[in-house]
Structure 1
Amino acid sequence: MEVRYGDTLALAGLDLTVGAGERVAVVGPSGAGKSTLLGLLNGSVTATAGSVEVLGTAPGALSGRDLRRLRARVGTVHQQLELVGPLRVVHNVNAGRLANWPTWRAAWSLLRPQGVPEVAEALRQVGLAERMYERTERLSGGQRQRVAVARVLVQRPDLVLADEPVSALDPALAERTLALLTALAAERGGTVVASLHDPALALRHCHRVVGLVGGRIALDAPAAAVTPADLAEFYGVSA
């Protein structure tokens, strides 16, 4: 399978299977194709050649209600967060449930927020309980990153995709946040695929490490078989 952006080859010769319940860390140098891989899994990126199957379905073959159902089962913490700054935190967290809500409920929730107890609990878990009604644009970068995580917590998806989900957090918050995401998946028998910039976090929170270099898989091994020194060397590989 491959992905091209014009003349640029973002992913090449990719052959990867992730089983239900796995926690997979995707690592590699900047520009290696990590975000493109996660985009393939949430349907925002289309393969130029080859095929992609997510939760037993080919995203590219879906439209309308079927695509909406698939998106309800896939939760993404985007690297750019994809939050609406002028909206209050409660609305951005509730966005994780829009695929499961009828249009009238989503519209009504902008006037009178729905599911407030669940939103409050998710925000409590990420340490932002007191920020629920604050405008999201007033938060710090790290706080906004935690809002994006809370959005996935209320969504409760079968597949969690996280693109550098703790890059703006201090070490203690990073550990806690990754633990929340992996616990969410574990309690539902779900799967986590996370792009991580910290090798130590990858080894502590994931079962398997997949490394990309230049859009190709250069490493695929159980986390228990990989050492921090291995990953340090891997990150030093030039794409």
Structure 2
Amino acid sequence: MDLTVRAGERVAVVGASGAGKSTLLAVANGSVVPTAGRVQVLGTDPAGLTGAALRRLRARVGTVHQHLELVGPLRVVHNVNAGRLGRWSAGRAAWSLVRPQGVEEVVAALDRVGLADRVYDRTERLSGGQQQRVALARVLVQRPELVLADEPASALDPALADTALELLGELAADTGGALVVCLHDPALALRHCDRVVGLRAGRVVLDAPATELTLSALEAFYGVTR
């Protein structure tokens, strides 16, 4: 697949289950090595990096995983602070588990997602939608140059889904980077992204400005019927 995402773009990746959306993001953040072809992320090939160099790249790439990748028994503050581990020394990261660091910034991020009052709650006690918002707050404190999000609004009601996409778009704009977000909701893709890329069986079969697409056309691509 040939795909280039430039700084400043907000790209929605759409397609049916199994089309390759999650795999695309995993290749972009260096957690999956491609079996063929060549990948450049922020000017670097993740497959050629190991150890500290790979950690530095991942610190520049923020990912909201579909399965969130939160540690349930830990308090919310620790899961949000995980977004900063790539910039912290091992000693500071360990000390933060005892005495949380940067709490003011964590609270500010949680406030943006409506969870400022849950900073010291155990994460596993939150609802699925609340945990999804914790994952969003984690990326907000990370402030990455590239934001990758895999179905970041799947457990949210429509109003919170719009808020989540707005926050991710603002974050990418603030850092001068790009947003690549996998979505199953065609309307969200058209409202919050300026470009839509459609995958089918791991191949790009659609790549167009959002302004040139209609909701009915995207629904047809998904196979949505009314």
Deviations 1:88-122, CA, capped at 9 Å, x for gaps:
00000000000100000000000000000000000
Alignment of 1:202-213 (within 5 A): 202-213=189-200
- Aligned with 1:75: secondary structure? strand
Q: Distance in 2 between matches of 1:236 and 1:174?
A: 22
Are residue 85 (structure 1) and residue 107 (structure 2) matched? no
1:121 & 1:15 partners in 2: Cα distance?
A: 38
Is the counterpart of residue 118 in structure 1 residue 105 in structure 2? yes
Matches within 5 A, 1:114-193: 114-193=101-180
Secondary structure of 1:15 counterpart: coil
Out of 212, 215, 219, the residue aligned to residue 202 of structure 2 is 215
**Post-superposition CA distance 1:8-49 (Å, at most 9, x none):** xxxxxx111111111000000011100000001000111001
Q: How far apart are 1:205 and its partner, in Å?
A: 0.6
- State the 4+ residue runs in structure 1 displaced beyond 3 angstroms: none
Q: Which amino acid aligns with 1:40?
A: V
Instruction: Tell me the TM-score normalized by structure 1.
Output: 0.93
Q: Which amino acid aligns with 1:94?
A: N
Structure 2: stretches of 5+ with no match in the other structure: none
Q: Could you say which residue in structure 1 is the equivalent of 2:220? A: 233
Structure 2 length normalisation: TM-score?
0.98
1:224 maps to 211
| Equivalences for residues 86-101 of structure 1 within 5 A | 86-101=73-88
SS for the counterpart of 2:190 is: helix
When the two structures are aligned, how many residues end up with a matched partner?
224
The whole-number CA distance in structure 2 between the counterparts of 1:22 and 1:102 is 32
> SS of the residue aligned with 2:129?
helix
**Most deviating of 28-37 and 211-220:** 211-220
The aligned amino acid for 2:192 is H
1:197 aligns with one of 163, 177, 184: 184
CA deviations 1:125-163 (Å, max 9, x no partner) are: 000011000000000000000000000000000000000
Unaligned runs of 5+ in 1: 1-13
Alignment partners' CA distance in 1, 2:63 and 2:157: 21
**2:22 pairs with 1:35:** yes
How far the C-alpha of 1:213 sits from its partner, in A, is 1.1
